[in-house]
A and B are shown apart, each in its own frame.
Chain A
Amino acid sequence: MNTLEIKNLNVTIDGQRILKDFSLTLPKGEVHALMGPNGTGKSTLAKALSGHEDYEIESGEALLDGEDIIGMEPDEIARAGLFMAFQYPSEIPGVTIANFIRAALTARLNEGETFRAPDFYKELYARMDELKIDRKFTSRFVNEGFSGGEKKRCEILQMAMLKPRYAIMDETDSGLDIDALKIVAEGVNKMRGPDLGILIITHYQRLLNYIVPDKVHVMADGAIVRSGGPELALELEEKGYESVTAEPAGASS
C-alpha cells in the first residue's frame, strides 16, 4: 500500500505511443532516479501521471497508496498527494508566490479546517531561508522574471510547503549552475524521509552526486530496460546510454 505503483502504462500523444507497458514501483521513503536519453518518454510519464489532458492513457494503472489516479483530474491527483516539479515552470503574472502557495494549501483543507496565516508565513519564511530564497520573493509574482535557478528553487519551496506523499522531479537539474544545483539538492535531501517517495527524472548523472538515489532505472523507447543501485548512474556516465541499454535488462523492482 505504501507505494506509488505504476503498472503497464500505455500512453499516446497525438496518436503516437510513447509509454509502452511502463511499470515502476516507488516505495514511500525511497528516492529513485529515472534516467534515459531524450525522447524515451521520461517527461511523458511525468505529465501523464499529473493528469495532463494532452496525454492519452490507453491502459494501465497508477496506484498511489492503493488508489488509482488514472482518469482523475489534475487538481485531484495533486490533492491525492502527487507533486510534480516542472522542468519549465510557468510564469504567472499578478499572482504572488505567497498567494499561490496559500491557494494550494487552502484547496487541501478539510471541511471545518481554517487557514492559519501566521503559521503559514512562519513556515514559508523558514523554508525560504533553507532554500536561500530572499523573503521578499513572497510578494514577487510566481516565476515572473526569475532566473532558471530561482524557478527551480521555487518549485522545491512549493514541494516543501505542500508536503506531498510522492514527488516527481522532472529534469530539475536542467539549466542549473553548480551552486543552484547544490541548494536544490540540499532542499530535497532535507525532505527525504519515511513519508515521501521521490522520483527524479534526469538526463545526467550530475544531480545524483548530490541526491544519492536508492535505485536507478534506465529507460529506453517507452519502458524501463535496466534497474540497479546508484552505481548504475555512474556506469551510464562512463559508458553512455547506448551500451548500457544494449545489455540485458536487470530485475525491475
Chain B
Amino acid sequence: MSTETLSVGTGAIGDADIFAARQEFSGGLPDWFTTMQREHWTRFLESPDPTRLDETWRFSDLRPLSKIAGFVPTPFEKPDADDLIARSNTVKNPAGQLVFVDDNLAAARVMDAELEKKGVIFTTLFDALNNHGDLVREYFMKETPQLGSEKYEALHVALVRSGVFLYVPDGVEVDRPFVVYNWTQQEKGAVFPHTLFVSGKHSKSTLVEFQRAASTETEHLVISNAHVFSGDGSETNHRIIQDWNTKTLSFQLNTNNADRDTNAKSIIVNVGSSQARQEVHGKIFGSGSNVEMYSVNVPRKDQQFDQRTLQTHLAPHSRSDLLFKNALLDKSRTIFSGLIIVEEGAQQTDAYQTNNNLMLSGDAESNALPGLEIKANDVKCSHGATTGRIDESNLFYFLARGITRSKAHELIVFGFLEEVIEKFGDEALEDYVRGRLAEKSLA
C-alpha cells in the first residue's frame, strides 16, 4: 500500500464520527455541495431501514442491508495498483478514460485534446466541482430514481468523493466512447462512485463504465449513482458492465432524463455482486424522444439481482422501451418490478416494458411485478413478463446436429440474451460481454 495513506477516513459507516472525520478532507469544495452532503448524512441517519412491507422492497432479501454499517469508506490515498491500471484496457482508443481504484483516481486522465478544445469536459467529479461548480450544481442530484433506496442514496451523497463528470457541449458529436473503470480492492471497503453525464443539444456521445474487483475474495459495499441528461436532439449511449466480485453488496441507482427529440439508450449488464440492487428511472420530459433501457442479467449460485424500474412519460409523442432479460442458474434469484407512468397530457405515448426470465435450474427463483399507471387516454402501452425453461424441442434440434448438450445450453442462453447484447452496436464490446458472460456465468 502507498505510504501516502492518511490517518483518517478509516472508520466504519456505523461509527458516530465517520462523517465529520471525512468532511475534514473536503476543503476547497463548494459550500452548496458540503451543505448538501451534511443534509444527506442526516437523512441517512434518520431514514428507517426498508422492510418487506414496503412495496419497493417486495420479495427482496433485506438481511444483507444490516451489514452496511460495518463497511469502511475507503481512505483518501493514491492507490498502488499498476496491475489494475494495466488491466483497464478493454476499450481500445477511447475518447477519454478514467481509472479509479477504491474511489481514488489511479491513473492519469486520458482525454482527446481535440475534444477538449471543443469544450468537452471529461473529468473527476471533484475536479468538476472545483472548476465547473455551477454546471455541476445545475444537474447534481437534480433527478433521483425514487424507487426505494432513498436511504442508501443519502449515504451515497453524504460520502461521495469520487466520480465522473462528462459534459458534451451543444452540437458536438463523439463517435469513440468515453470509458470509466471502477475497481474495488480494500477488504471491507465501501465506495460511492458517481456518474453525471450531461449531453448538450444535438450532441452525440457514449459512456461505458466497467465495474470490477481486484480480488474475488474481498468483501465490498458499492453504492453507485449514474444520471444521464440528454439535451434536445441529442443521442446518448450509456453502458454499465457490473462485474464486481461475488462478495459485493451493490446498488446502482440511475436516472435517464430525456428532453425533446432525444435518442437516449442505456444498457446494464449484471455479472457480479452477491446482491445487486438496480434502480432505473427513465424520465421523459420532452416530446419526440426515444428512451431505451435494457439489461442483461446472468445470476448464478446464491446471487440475487433486484431490479426496480420506472418509465415516466411527462410529455406527449415519446417512446420508451424497457427490456430486462434474466437467465438464472443454480439457486439465484431475481426480482423485477417495473412500472410505466403516463402522466395526464402525455398523449400518443408508446411505452413498452418487458421482462423475460429463462430458468436454467429448478432451484432458481424469479419474481416479476409489471405495472402500468396511465392518466392519458390516447396511448400505446404494453407490459409483459415471461418465465420459462429451455424448450426441449429446440434443445433436440441442436443435439440432432451433433452439438453437445452443454454447448447447446450455452448457445440457447446466449441466443436468449442476444436480443439485448446486439443493442450495444459495438462489436468489440459485444464480444467482450459475451466472453465475460461465458467465462464467469456459464462456464
Contacts and interface: CB of A to CB of B under 8 A. Distances in A.
B402 interface: yes
A137 interface: no
B141 interface: no
A172 interface: no
Contacts of B33: none
Interface in B403-426: 403-405, 407-408, 411-412, 414-419
Given A89-B397, A90-B393, A95 B402 contact: no
B401 A78 contact: yes
B400 interface: yes
B399 interface: yes
A249 interface: no
Contacts of A74: 396, 399-400
Interface stretch (A26-34, A58-66, A103-111, A119-127): A103-111
A74 B399 CA distance: 6
A6 interface: no
A92 B397 contact: yes
Contact of A104 (B393, B403, B405): B403
Contacts of A141: 415
Contact of B402 (A52, A89, A99, A108): A108
B414 A94 contact: yes
5 contacts: A51-B399, A75-B405, A90-B394, A93-B419, A104-B401
Q: Taking chain B's interface residues, is the majority helix, strand, or loop, or is none over half, making it mixed?
A: helix
Interface in B364-417: 391, 393-394, 396-405, 407-408, 411-412, 414-417
Contacts of A84: 400
A162 interface: yes
Give 4 nearest A-B pairs by CB, closest first: A94-B415, A94-B418, A78-B402, A74-B399
A95 B415 contact: yes
Contacts of B408: 75
Given A52-B396, A74-B399, 11 more contacts: A73-B405, A74-B396, A78-B400, A78-B401, A78-B402, A86-B400, A92-B398, A100-B411, A107-B401, A108-B402, A141-B415
Given A75-B405, A90-B393, A94-B418, A99 B411 contact: yes
B32 to A, nearest CB: 48
Contact of A103 (B396, B403, B416): B403
Contacts of A162: 401-402
A156 to B, nearest CB: 13
Size category of the A interface is 20 to 34
Interface in B75-113: none
A95 B403 contact: no
A158 interface: yes
A93 B398 CA distance: 13
Contacts of A44: none
Contact of A86 (B397, B399, B404): B397
Given A90-B394, A94-B417, A95-B414, A104 B399 contact: no
A79 interface: yes
A94 B419 contact: yes
A95 B411 contact: yes
A207 B396 CA distance: 26
A28 B405 CA distance: 29
A73 B399 contact: yes
Contacts of B398: 75, 92, 100, 103
A107 B415 contact: no
A57 B400 CA distance: 17
A50 interface: yes
- Central interface residue in B397, B401, B415, B417, by most chain A CB within 10 Å: B401
A172 to B, nearest CB: 15
Contact of B416 (A75, A79, A93, A107): A93
Contacts of A78: 399-402
B391 to A, nearest CB: 8
B412 A92 contact: yes
Contacts of A91: 394
A153 to B, nearest CB: 16
B421 to A, nearest CB: 9
Nearest to B405: A75
A91 B405 CA distance: 17
Interface string A32-75: 00000000000000000011100000000000000000000111
Contacts of A86: 397, 400
Interface string B57-85: 00000000000000000000000000000
A219 to B, nearest CB: 22
A210 to B, nearest CB: 25
A162 B401 CA distance: 8
A51 B393 CA distance: 13
A104 B418 CA distance: 19
B403 A75 contact: yes
Contacts of A93: 415-416, 418-419
B397 A107 contact: no
B417 A103 contact: no
Contacts of B412: 92, 95
B402 A50 contact: no
A108 B401 CA distance: 10
A86 B391 CA distance: 16
A84 B397 CA distance: 9
A100 B401 contact: yes
B401 A158 contact: yes
Contacts of B414: 94-95
Contacts of B415: 92-95, 141
B399 A90 contact: no
A73 to B, nearest CB: 7
B400 A107 contact: no
A46 B394 CA distance: 17
Contact of A107 (B393, B394, B407, B419): B407
